[in-house]
Each structure stands twice: as C-alpha cells, then as structure tokens.
Amino acid sequence: MDRLDTMHAFTRIVERRSFTHAAQDLGASRSTLTEAIKTLEARLGVRLLQRTTRSVHPTRDGDAYYHRCLSILAQVEDAEGALMNAKPKGVLRVDVHGTLARHFILPKLPEFLNTYPGLELHMSEGDRLVDLVGEGIDCALRVGMPQNSDMHSRRITTLDEVTAASPGYLAKYGTPHSVAELGGHTMVGFHSSRAGQVLSLEFTNGGKVEYVTLPANVTTSAAESYYAAARLGLGIIQVPRYHAEDDLRTGQLVEVLPSNPPTRSPVSILYPSNRQLSPRVRVFIDWVVSVFDEGDELAKLVEEHRGEKDKAVTVSLDNL
C-alpha cells in the first residue's frame, strides 16, 4: 500500500473498530491491513491502535493522526476531482427512514445514478440511533428532531402529520370531536428506539401542544406494522400525511380531529461532525434536498389547485 491507501485503511479501521470489518469495506484481506498498520506504526515510531480481543481503539496519537488523515484524504479527493473534472465515484453508504425513502427517494433514484454512474449506493433501512462512524455509514435520513450532538444535521423539509383510524374502529368506539373526547379510546403504541419509550399522541390546541397517552393493546417499533395495525382497527395512530393519503382518499382510514393536528415533523440529513464531507456524500445530500424541494413545490401547487376548486364551488353555490 502507498501512503494514501494506508491512511484510508487506517481511518476505516478506526471508524469500524475492527480490522475484519474495515477489510470487508475496502475489499482487502485482513492480513493486508494488519501488515500495513504494522509498517505505518514502525515508520512513525508510535503506537496508533490499541487492540483487544473484541475491538480496536485509537491511542491518543492514533486519534490525532486519524483526524489529520481525514482532512488530507478529503482534500486529495477534492483536488483530483477538480483537476480531472470527474464526477464522484465509489461506495456511498446511507441509512434511511424506510417509508420516507420509498415514497420520495426511490422513485427518483434512477436519475441520480444515471447522473453519477460511478457511485455504488449501499442503503440500509431503520429509524434507530445509528453510530454513523462506527458502522461505516456516510449519512442518515431521519424524521424528527435530531438528538445526537456529535452529528451535523441539515434540515431539508417538514412533513404534515395526520391522526387517523379505520372506519371499523370508529364505528365501534365512536368518532371523537375534541381532544377531551378521547377518553375510552385506544391507540396503536409506537415504541421509539430513539426516545426509548412509547410515544404519546400529540395535538395542537389553541396554539399549544397537548400530549395524550391512550391505552394500547398493540405496541410495535416498526413503522409499517404500526400503520397496518391501524388499518385493521386496532387503534388510533399519527403518521405523516403522505403515508396515509391514499387510504384517506379511498376511505380505508379516516382523519380524526382534523382541527387539532399534530405538529409538523422535521426531516434531516445527519452526518459525522468530525469528518469533512467527501464529494460523493456532498452530491447525494444536495440531490436529496432537491428531491424534497420538488415535493414541496408540488404540494403548494396541489393546495393552490384545491383552493381554486373551493372558490369555484363557492361561486356556483352563491349563484343558485
């Protein structure tokens, strides 16, 4: 390995806390990385990594060298890309909120990969707290307020939320017309891995936010199961409106308390604060922002169209 390759290998070992995982990421053998680090430490005359039976950790010198390497590698990648006028290439590892990705990201993904054919996208799916550095992930797409101060976050949009239940559920328990009428109702419980607890229902009322926790016969930590349980009549849920819009239109679900909607949910891209963005991560983040910008513009047009239809109906009724 030359010096840059060795730096790259070293940073990946530190981030993955494992020679084996780093070797898998880089498509190299574990023995190759072991020999490269041994040679590097001998040349520098310092111990960079502290090895145990379970993991690998940088020493104080190793941590300082790691951050220098990150800066150097990012500058080299930027410089080469600018001189060669080349598009970013390589492996891009992202973790996404699955429902959000399927609705917004995946439909547009072919055009992104056509624009950057040298990129190889590895996309994992979840809504848990992710150790981006430790798991070798470049960035994560999340709904909700970011809690991890070790991550940079870039807010890209906010989503309308809706409270909903199935017609069968409402026929059995009645339709509440105020927050005070929720007594006797049940919710589908959603256990958030980030909050470490079942989330309360949230309602805006006179400029204030009220939190209501109802009994739950079913609790899940999976977004799709949470939604499916509501369709089966197992309780009230709150989800982004885009997720439920088809079922609301066809009557599979009914909006509950539309005058007291949940607050809007932010959508953010998270990435490590101690790492300069590589060109491939930068173009992906910029593309994701553009995808949601297009969605926001479309939503505005739809609302304007609805408004014009409402005006037309009002005029026709007034003329009767």
Rounded CA-CA distance 242/159 in Å is: 8
Task: State the CATH architecture for 161-263.
Answer: 3-Layer(aba) Sandwich (3.40)
The reply to whether the predicted model has a pTM over 0.75 is no
Start-to-end C-alpha separation, the chain:
84
> What confidence score (pLDDT) does residue 315 get?
35
Q: What's the CATH number of domain 3-84, 3.30.70.270, 1.10.10.10, 1.10.10.920, 1.10.10.410?
A: 1.10.10.10
Contact criterion met (CB below 8 Å) for 131 and 238 = no
Contact criterion met (CB below 8 Å) for 230 and 253 = yes
Mean pLDDT of 38-63: 90
- Phi/psi of residue 267, nearest 5 degrees: -115, 130
Break the chain into its structural domains and give their ranges.
Answer: 3-84, 90-153+270-305, 161-263
pLDDT band at 153; cut points 50, 70, 90: confident
pLDDT above 70 coverage of the chain, percent: 85
Mean pLDDT of 107-126: 90
pLDDT band at 319; cut points 50, 70, 90: very low
pLDDT tens for residues 206-244?
Answer: 889 999 999 999 999 888 999 999 999 999 999 999 999
> What confidence score (pLDDT) does residue 311 get?
42
> What confidence score (pLDDT) does residue 235 get?
97
| Antiparallel, parallel or unpaired: β 90-96 and 139-143 | parallel
Rounded CA-CA distance 7/315 in Å is: 71
Mean pLDDT of 263-280: 83
The average confidence (pLDDT) of the chain is 85
Rounded CA-CA distance 263/202 in Å is: 7
> What confidence score (pLDDT) does residue 275 get?
64
Q: What is the CATH number of domain 90-153+270-305?
A: 3.40.190.10
> What confidence score (pLDDT) does residue 199 get?
92
Do the domains 3-84 and 161-263 sit in the same CATH topology, yes or no?
no
The DSSP bridge partners found for residue 123 are 94
